[in-house]
Amino acid sequence: MKTDKILAVLLGICLLLTSILIYVKWLYPYVSFEQILQVITSLTPDVIEENISLKDYIIGLSFFAIAFPLILWKTTSNQQVLIIIIDLIFIAYFSGFAEYQYYMTKKTTLYEDEYVNPSEIEFNFPKKKRNLVLIIMESFEQNFSNENYYSQNLIPNLISLQNENNHSKNNHQLRLTAASITALTAMHCGIPYRLSKNNDIRYSKYFLPNAICFPEILKHNGYHTEIIKAADIKYTHADIFAKTHGYTKVLGKDELKKLYPEFNQPQHQGTFDGLNDRALFTAAKKELQKMAKNKPFVLTLFSLDTHGRFYHLDKSCKAEFNDLRDAFMCSDKAVYDFITWLKKQPFAENTTIIVLGDHKIPIVLSQKDHSNHGIYNVFLNLPQGLSINQDKQFTTFDLAPTILEALQIKLSPRSFGLGRSIFAESKTLIEKMGNAFYYHLISYSDFYESLTTPPEHKTKYNLYTLGKKISGKDVLNWTDYYEEVLNKIYVDELNFKLASKPQTNLRAELKFETMTDEEIKIIFNVNGSDVFVCDISEKNFRNITFEIDKNLVTKDNTIKLKIRKETKESANDLYLDKIDKVNATYIGIVVKDLVIKQK
């Protein structure tokens, strides 16, 4: 009987995952395994509420609702075991996990052979530095002008800009740049943003800490750098990326609402729990008028109205199709109007304007085959002597050196990371390597891992008054090792500094809200050596009391409390930031409250 229950649970889990996966891949057929994980691990309650409807739950769970009871009632235990095995193989293949694991076992020398370290590039700036306005349009494709696919040219204004300016028709979007954050990373840094053993999208402290991105080059050479995102800029840790890679001012929907209270009004609300594009461009005008007075500047804008199925259609636009096409037509007009305004500003003559799609639309907008579609791109007001061969093949990685050269900066060599300037005659890596470029990108690289290695950590000790109860987010004052997931703070280390050496032993009372179902150890670290304190198991974890020997407090009056999980497979202690990449299982606990007293 117990075996039957276990089989039923395993079968239910497998069929539930399959049901959700089928629906996700039907909605978003181009997503990769890494992209699925990146999105799942970045979800917040607001994003879930904003983007998953009752219809999604019904359709997404329909396969499970039909298959689970049918298989459970009509099959034997042996047949259920076989179904589970077959289903797991299906999940591994259909999700892309099998491909991901296969290529992660293969080592590539792509970076050793082709990576051009930005720290070794010679940058020669013009005497009068040019400004940059970089407009990144959500899901904008080059072929939205094709009436055969969409019944109408959806982007007539943007096509008119292309007809008068430089662009390339041959973008190759690789699956590693099929999401906003991965595209943002690739176009800024010339490298992909991947899940890795050292640093991935789930961490809140580091974002490719050893990589160099083009805004850093500009900031170090006197530029004011600013990015404005209509969405929540904390989503997928885009704020950490921006702050650590060269942007001085980083604004998302929450920051904009604080800076400009009028954006709190309902008419400025957009999709994906963000602001609409009208608010974005209004804010951009305000910021440009401030920043254009002194230093050369970079302003990067990231639109939102055309995000996915739950698009936003501005009230100033008519609904002609009653679907996502309307949003693209409206955004086409909005960005064109903004550029028209830009051209009239006193700083316009010395400003390069670049408009890019971040990635291809992830959902199927037209049922007709158009596999050669790429991202939209146009380069306005380029310095004299620069032009693009429209047949030049490029990927998102090639945009970093291209953007720098569009500012009249001479690069030697004309490369940046894995990117090659599309103004140059030399081949880009997609031209040089073809499809092999992608397979090298998704293979394992020691060099890439070195770019993700966080800097050596020095523990910070904040003053703690004995008897003070700490709870909720207050715990962050006494830890540097934490992860915030769905508004819960998981910790694996707490560090305290006392005002003086305690004269007696101390008593700690520790309460947990949630934790993993395996055993947890509490350890004190004294001068680099671990001293075991106690075990916590599911049976006793709600309220733990333990004694702290006064001799465990260091000469500096500090206490380092380490919380470790001992897995069933290994006796090795694991940190919170070492995550099971397959199951995305967090190793850590949520502290409800903690108090340390004199005994």
Q: Are residues 8 and 77 in the same domain?
A: yes
- In whole angstroms, what is the distance from residue 152 CA to residue 576 CA? 52
**Does residue 29 have a cis peptide bond before it, meaning omega lies within 30 degrees of 0?**
no
Tokens of 26: 């039907």
Q: Are residues 198 and 164 in the same domain?
A: yes
467 in Cβ contact with 210 (< 8 Å): no
User: What is each CA distance from 200 to 163, 219, 431, in whole angstroms?
Assistant: 40, 25, 29
In 10 A of CB 427, how many CB atoms?
12
Supply the pLDDT for residue 532. Answer: 66
What contacts 24+ positions apart, CB below 8 Å, involve 44-49? 44/232, 44/235, 44/486, 44/487, 45/486, 45/487, 46/232, 46/273, 47/232, 47/235, 47/272, 47/273, 49/273
Q: Model pTM?
A: 0.79
Tokens of 477: 């004052």
Bridge partners of 355, per DSSP, are 135, 378
Supply the pLDDT for residue 531. Answer: 67
- Transcribe 409-454 into DSSP letters: -EEESSEEBTEE-TTSSSPPHHHHHTTHHHHHHTSB-HHHHHHHPP
Which of 261, 269, 303 has the alpha carbon at shortest distance from 284?
303
Structural domain count, the chain: 3
DSSP 271: S
Q: What angle do CA 399, 404, 409 make, to 5 degrees?
A: 150
Q: Are residues 284 and 428 in the same domain?
A: yes
Cβ contacts of residue 258 below 8 Å, gap of 6+?
A: none
Q: What is the CA radius of gyration of the chain?
A: 27
Mapped onto helix, strand or coil, the DSSP state of residue 503 is coil
User: What is each CA distance from 92 to 18, 29, 43, 98, 541, in whole angstroms?
Assistant: 10, 16, 22, 5, 35
479 in Cβ contact with 521 (< 8 Å): no
Tokens of 180: 């906003």
Q: Domain containing 509 — which CATH number?
A: 2.60.120
Burial 215-246 (b: 16+ CB within 10 A, else e): bbbbbeeebbbbbbbbbbbbbbbbbbbbbbbb
Mapped onto helix, strand or coil, the DSSP state of residue 564 is strand
Q: Are residues 9 and 75 in the same domain?
A: yes
Does residue 41 sit within a domain?
A: yes
Q: Are residues 367 and 309 in the same domain?
A: yes
Q: Are residues 403 and 486 in the same domain?
A: no
Strand pairing class (589-598; 506-515): antiparallel
Q: Are residues 426 and 568 in the same domain?
A: no
Per-residue pLDDT in tens (0 to 9) along the chain, 599 residues: 667 888 999 999 999 999 999 988 888 777 788 888 877 777 777 777 777 888 888 989 999 999 999 999 989 999 999 999 999 999 999 999 999 999 999 999 999 999 999 999 999 999 999 999 999 999 999 989 988 888 899 999 999 999 999 999 889 989 889 889 999 999 999 999 987 765 444 455 788 999 999 999 999 999 999 999 999 998 888 999 999 999 999 999 999 999 999 999 999 999 988 999 999 999 999 999 999 888 899 999 999 999 978 899 999 999 999 999 999 999 999 999 999 999 999 999 999 999 999 998 887 776 565 556 789 999 999 999 999 988 899 999 999 999 999 999 999 999 999 999 999 999 999 999 999 999 999 999 999 999 988 776 677 788 999 989 988 888 888 887 676 666 677 777 888 899 888 888 888 888 877 554 456 667 766 555 666 666 665 555 567 788 888 887 888 888 888 776 554 433 333 333 333 332 223 345 677 788 888 87
Cβ contacts of residue 597 below 8 Å, gap of 6+?
A: 466, 467, 506, 507, 508, 509
Which of 273, 282, 325, 381 has the alpha carbon at shortest distance from 42?
273
Print the domain residue range for 357: 110-452
Which helix (H) or strand (E) segment holds residue 61: the answer is none
The pair phi, psi for residue 387, each rounded to 5°, is -155, 160
Q: Are residues 219 and 361 in the same domain?
A: yes
> What digits encode the pLDDT tens for the residues 91-116?
999 999 999 999 999 999 999 999 99
Supply the pLDDT for residue 535. Answer: 66
Supply the pLDDT for residue 570. Answer: 35
Does residue 97 sit within a domain?
A: yes
Q: Are residues 434 and 484 in the same domain?
A: no
Does residue 121 sit within a domain?
A: yes
Bridge partners of 41, per DSSP, are none
Residue 128's Cβ-count burial label (10 Å; 0-12, 13-18, 19+) is exposed
Does residue 466 sit within a domain?
A: yes
Supply the pLDDT for residue 369. Answer: 53
- In whole angstroms, what is the distance from residue 559 CA to residue 556 CA? 9
Does residue 457 sit within a domain?
A: no
Tokens of 73: 């009632």
Q: Are residues 291 and 411 in the same domain?
A: yes
Q: Are residues 68 and 208 in the same domain?
A: no
- In whole angstroms, what is the distance from residue 418 CA to residue 117 CA? 9
Q: Are residues 214 and 362 in the same domain?
A: yes
Does residue 377 sit within a domain?
A: yes
Go through the chain and tell me how many residues it has.
Answer: 599
Q: Domain containing 446 — which CATH number?
A: 3.40.720.10
